[in-house]
Structure 1
Amino acid sequence: MTQPIFDVSTAIAVLNQTLEFAYPTITVVGELSQFQVSKGKWVYFDLKDEQSKLRCFGSVWQLKTALEDGMQVEVVAQPRLHNLYGFSLNIQAIRPVGEGSIRKAADLLRKKLEKEGLFAPERKRALPYPPERIALIASGQSAAYADFLKILQARWPYLEIDHYEVQVQGASAEEELVTAIQQANSDAGCNVLVMIRGGGSADDLAAFSTETVTRAIAMSRIPTMVAIGHEVDIALSELAADVRASTPSNAAELLVPDREAVRVSVATSKSFLNKVVADELASRKQQLNQARIDLKGFVDVFIQEKKTHLEHARLRLESYHPKQVMKRGYGLVRRGGRLVKITDTFTPGDTIDVELLHNTLTSEVKKVSKK
């Protein structure tokens, strides 16, 4: 059988068709090398192991987290032959793998977001306590979900819960978490957004430290609480949340009060208030009794003072009565039955009556002398 003969361009086209048919996409794990971003749009790097390396090319939009040389990454890509640059992988998705690389990527992203102020304390909002209705983002099949609901119902069964079902790990987790956060913010009624999952490896928890999920939490209109059950590593979405809980169980405890504790507190407060009111009434009653006694004493003294004053006034007034004056030897002078005044004039021969205390004298004016 005669072997076909191709020119270079045709050979490359045939090989690309063969690659596309046999391996439309491949997943490759290796060490990141010579990583660079061009014009803010394109990324170039080599993926290598101890013996080989592959040239990779893609868009910055495929980057879900910060990357740097030396990281172990998993690349989903299309193998291609380029007319000028030879064999390369066209990236569709890339993510760090392995505990060290995942932590390093998260640390790079943390520094970037921290510089933007996404984790600043002044951005944190207080959660309503207790909330009336929450948006719960979690896997309904997880132990974390069951523990959270169990404690929540035991402590405060009056809370309404809107559950947004998501995958919390794996390829679709990041997108589902972001969609759930956005949907919860679009729906009306919830006044706290809670996102939970149990513990796991760094790879299991990676979705909660991606840039898109972290930014979605930071941009939430609804106050947020995030609880990832892993005390060693804190997910970036926890740092962006208004409140972080150490575990889903702790989230339930922080979110609502214990109804039994509230009942005891109300009973104690009621007893205390009753005592305060009773003590206040007794004190007021004692004050009123004392005020009544003081007022009576004041009124008695006031009345006595007024009586004394009136008596003195009466005595002074009586001392000016004509009869009292007459007792001291004075008399009333009348002319024609009318009391004479200081302005009246007299002429010799005028008849006047002088009224004394016991007698009335009728006299004739003999002489008028001027003073």
Structure 2
Amino acid sequence: MRIYSVSECVREISLYLEQLGSVVVKGEVTGFRRARNGQLVYFELKDEGSRLLCFCLGYELPMDLEDGQEIHVVGVPQLFKTTGGFHIRVQEVQLIGEGALQQAYRRLFERLEREGLFAQERKRSLPRFPQRIGLITSEDAAAYSDFMRILNNRWSGVVVRFYPSGVQGPGAIRQIVNAIEYMNTHEQVDVLVLTRGGGSLEDLQVFNSEEVVRAVIASRVPVVVGVGHERDTTLADYVADVRASTPSHAAERVVPDKSVIVQEMSDSIVAMRCAIARQVTFISSRISYQLKVCERWMYSFISAVSQYEYLLIMKMRSFARMALERVGALDRLLGSLSPQSVLERGYSISIVDGKGICDLDASFEGKTMVTRLAKGTLDSVIRHVKF
């Protein structure tokens, strides 16, 4: 028989326990405490015959448990490495009993409300025409079939990325949190739908858990939560961007009704036609008015041009008449001053050596003098010059 050291024994037993995987243990809480400034959480589960130590990190269990509460613990059996103490490494805690669930619901509701997480201003609007929808629900539940039926009846061409998850019972909280994180990091969805059918307060405990509520708040895409029936309202409903009363209602909230869109388009076309007709009528009236204004302006312009033309013609005629009169006067003046006119009045011109005589000169004696009269000339010889 092989002999193990203490460390080897603890290690071998731990490996064997890890192969068992997660287990669900039901019991009553006792000795709840937080150590190392809240970083570690310890408590025990007990029943009539035994006690079992449970351990987890502080952030994994945000709510404090009270001694005497009956709970379900989902976890992995392990041994502490140094002490060899057997314990359950807690993964999830679910309360049992209507009274405990209502008390936990009220406490968490008040805390979330103080944080302002129910405020309407933090909620995001949904895209009117989403192309990719993320769906988280149980694969075998009626919620899935109801959602898909209404979705396909109302709208087509939408890609649905489905992430199957438990919606109640042990392990469901972690599955839903993982699903929301996966949709945000690995799928390019426009809106995320978290839905399930109705049930008792204990059935809906997953949707009242702080882990699921915080995951909905942390989602980067808008979240629609549709749980159960009209009377069912979970904390996840309060923090969701949009609350739907049922899975069918959730489908109605995320996609429009194509018949309504067709009618809206038809109404829009009619409205556009009417608007275009009104605009055409208005523009036509404006054009007619402007044409009439232009016509009146053209008539005024033509009349003014005609008046200016008449005035110009009259001015030109007056100017021409005055010019003719002026030319006639100048012509008469020139006529009266011309040598011919002087000759016709009885005067004559004497020319010696081709030049007109203005003064007498002794040298003229013996030369021929030409005398020009109004009609004809006389040739004579100068015999004597007398001064």
Closer/same/farther in 2, CA of residues 65 and 209 from structure 1, 3 Å limit: farther
2: distance between equivalents of 1:78 and 1:335? 144
Query: Does the CA contact (< 8 Å) of 1:119 and 1:240 recur in 2?
Result: yes
Q: What amino acid maps onto 2:306 in structure 1?
A: K
**Which residue matches 1:351?**
337
2: distance between equivalents of 1:276 and 1:26? 68
Deviations 1:13-65 (A, max 9, x none): xxxxxxx9xxx9884444x677543331344668799x999796644548645
Q: What amino acid maps onto 1:270 in structure 2?
A: I
Cα offset for 1:330?
10
2: distance between equivalents of 1:274 and 1:57? 73
**Which residue matches 1:245?**
244
Asked if 1:280 corresponds to 2:266, the answer is no
Asked if 1:66 corresponds to 2:63, the answer is yes
**Which residue matches 1:212?**
211
Q: What amino acid maps onto 1:41 in structure 2?
A: Q
Query: Does the CA contact (< 8 Å) of 2:226 and 2:237 recur in 1?
Result: yes
State the Cα RMSD in Å.
Answer: 4.1
Closer/same/farther in 2, CA of residues 337 and 98 from structure 1, 3 Å limit: farther
Cα offset for 1:254?
1.2
**Which residue matches 1:313?**
312
Closer/same/farther in 2, CA of residues 64 and 46 from structure 1, 3 Å limit: closer
**Which residue matches 1:12?**
none
2: distance between equivalents of 1:159 and 1:67? 43
Closer/same/farther in 2, CA of residues 48 and 141 from structure 1, 3 Å limit: closer
After TM superposition, the structure 1 stretch with the greater mean CA deviation from structure 2, 103-112 or 252-261, is: 103-112
Q: What amino acid maps onto 2:71 in structure 1?
A: E
**Which residue matches 1:226?**
225
1: distance between equivalents of 2:116 and 2:32? 26
Deviations 1:114-149 (A, max 9, x none): 444444434322221120111111112111111111
Q: Secondary structure at the match of 1:320?
A: helix
Asked if 1:38 corresponds to 2:38, the answer is no
Cα offset for 1:159?
1.3
Cα offset for 1:229?
1.9
Query: Does the CA contact (< 8 Å) of 2:54 and 2:87 recur in 1?
Result: yes
Cα offset for 1:170?
0.9
Cα offset for 1:269?
1.8
Residues 92-131 of structure 1: pairs in structure 2 closer than 5 A: 92=90, 94-131=93-130
Closer/same/farther in 2, CA of residues 25 and 304 from structure 1, 3 Å limit: closer
**Which residue matches 1:342?**
none
When the two structures are aligned, how many residues end up with a matched partner? 314
Cα offset for 1:227?
1.1
Match of 1:333 among 330, 335, 345: 330
Task: Give the percent of matched residue pairs that are identical in Structure 1 and Structure 2.
Answer: 32
Q: Secondary structure at the match of 1:169?
A: coil
Q: Secondary structure at the match of 1:193?
A: strand
After TM superposition, the structure 1 stretch with the greater mean CA deviation from structure 2, 197-206 or 113-122, is: 113-122
Q: What amino acid maps onto 1:199 in structure 2?
A: G
Q: Secondary structure at the match of 2:330?
A: strand
1: distance between equivalents of 2:87 and 2:141? 37
Q: What amino acid maps onto 2:297 in structure 1?
A: F
Query: Does the CA contact (< 8 Å) of 2:94 and 2:205 recur in 1?
Result: no
Query: Does the CA contact (< 8 Å) of 2:198 and 2:232 recur in 1?
Result: no
Query: Does the CA contact (< 8 Å) of 2:151 and 2:251 recur in 1?
Result: yes
Asked if 1:265 corresponds to 2:251, the answer is no
**Which residue matches 2:366?**
none
Q: What amino acid maps onto 1:315 in structure 2?
A: M
Q: Which has the higher helix share?
A: 2
**Which residue matches 1:343?**
none
Q: Secondary structure at the match of 1:321?
A: helix
Query: Does the CA contact (< 8 Å) of 1:64 and 1:95 recur in 2?
Result: no
1: distance between equivalents of 2:168 and 2:53? 26
Closer/same/farther in 2, CA of residues 337 and 36 from structure 1, 3 Å limit: farther
2: distance between equivalents of 1:235 and 1:187? 27
Cα offset for 1:221?
2.2
Q: What amino acid maps onto 2:330 in structure 1?
A: V
Closer/same/farther in 2, CA of residues 274 and 203 from structure 1, 3 Å limit: same
Closer/same/farther in 2, CA of residues 257 and 26 from structure 1, 3 Å limit: closer
Normalized against structure 1, the TM-score is what?
0.70
Q: What amino acid maps onto 1:38 in structure 2?
A: A
Closer/same/farther in 2, CA of residues 160 and 57 from structure 1, 3 Å limit: closer
After TM superposition, the structure 1 stretch with the greater mean CA deviation from structure 2, 109-118 or 253-262, is: 109-118
Normalized against structure 2, the TM-score is what?
0.67
Q: Secondary structure at the match of 2:125?
A: coil
Deviations 1:147-198 (A, max 9, x none): 1111111110221111111111110211111121122122243211111111
